[in-house]
Amino acid sequence: MTDLFGQTRDVVKDRYALRTPSGFVPSVLPGWRNVVPIVQISPGMGADFAQIQITFDKNGEGRGNTGANQYLVYVLEGKCVANLAGKKHSLRVGSYAYVPSQTDFHFAQANAGTKLLIFEKKFVALAGYEKPAVLVGHESDIQGQPFLGNKDARLQVLLPDHPSFDMAVNIFTYQPGATLPFVEVHIMEHGLVMLKGQGVYRLDADWYPVREGDVIWMAPYCPQWFVAMGTTPASYIYYKDVNRAALPS
């Protein structure tokens, strides 16, 4: 039986969005060739950052300069080589690269099907602190810490917790039945991709079943809560803006 036409789990609202792979439409990004880019979140939705998925075809590559923006690139599938500010790094599933503003980059030598997730944000400098440098790591080197004392909800913080960074990217892993401890409401904005498992996300006053591959945008102050469900752990990678004044001067 075919799926029922005209149905989708996608919702795009003023304060949040849930996007699912069945609704993804490729676009074209300057500097990227032989790839399929999906802009999952962008200012067109109301967000103050962009979240982009890149899938490589044969001979795919992305070349450019970050300009005023900074990137956190995470490898969802496959492998590739990143040349960042003239230095080459081999990346595999779970690798991540922080690419500061005003930095030359070239992503290439990827297997067809390699998938990158990019969080892109305008860099806001902080007086008295140097701009962060290129940083490359792997999620397996980051210890998951119990979230607010709950060992069944663990947080891996990929970027240094330091005032020079104005963005954070974390991986949250929940055992089945584990939850965010309370409904969060905060100044930070989020972009999120479900990496594994299933659960229910509360967004504002609405509840949505979510699973691997789903994407969520949460505007600042959007009430949010999650419970992992099923028999396997659920995990998601997410972005947030951090460490800057509430009211820019």
Stretch of 7-15, 106-114, 143-151, 183-191 contacting Mn ion, by CB under 5 A: 183-191
Contacts with ligand UGY by CB under 6 A lie at 172, 180, 184, 188, 190, 224, 238, 240
Q: Is the distance from CB of 158 to CB of 96 less than 8 angstroms?
A: yes
Shortest separation between residue 193's beta carbon and ligand UGY, angstroms: 12
Q: Which is nearer to ligand UGY, 135 or 188 (CB)?
A: 188
Choose the contact partner of 202 out of Mn ion, ligand UGY, none; CB within 5 to 8 A by kind: none
CB of 31 to Mn ion, least distance (A): 32
Identity of the residue, 61 or 184, whose beta carbon is nearer to Mn ion in the bound complex: 184
Nearer to ligand UGY, 73 or 234 (CB): 234
Residue at shortest CB range from ligand UGY: 224
3-class DSSP assignment, residue 249? coil
Distance, CA of 149 to CA of 177 (rounded, Å): 16
* SS3 assignment for 7-29: CCCCEECCCEEEECHHHCCCCCC
Contact partner, 172, from ligand UGY, Mn ion, none, Cβ < 5-8 Å per class: ligand UGY
Token couple for 245: 């004044």
Nearer to Mn ion, 115 or 202 (CB): 202
Binding of residue 212 to Mn ion (CB under 5 A): no
Q: Is 184 in the site for Mn ion (CB under 5 A)?
A: yes
**Which option in Mn ion, ligand UGY, none does residue 152 bind, with CB closer than 5 to 8 A by kind?**
none
101 contacts 67 by C-beta, under 8 angstroms: yes
Q: In terms of CB distance, is 78 or 223 closer to ligand UGY?
A: 223
In this structure, which amino acid lies at residue 12?
Answer: V
Give min distance, CB of 27 to ligand UGY, in A: 27
19/240 with CB nearer Mn ion? 240
Residue 173 contact, options ligand UGY, Mn ion, none, Cβ 5-8 Å cut-off depending on partner type:
none
By the rule CB under 5 A, 204 interacts with Mn ion: no
- Residue 239 contact among ligand UGY, Mn ion, none, beta carbon within 5 to 8 Å by kind: none
| 62-to-35, 36, 37, 103 alpha-carbon distances in Å | 8, 11, 11, 13
37 close to 25: Cβ distance less than 8 angstroms: no
What's the closest the beta carbon of residue 183 comes to ligand UGY, in angstroms? 10
CA distances from 177 to 128, 200, 213 (A): 44, 10, 20
Contact footprint for Mn ion (CB under 5 A): 184
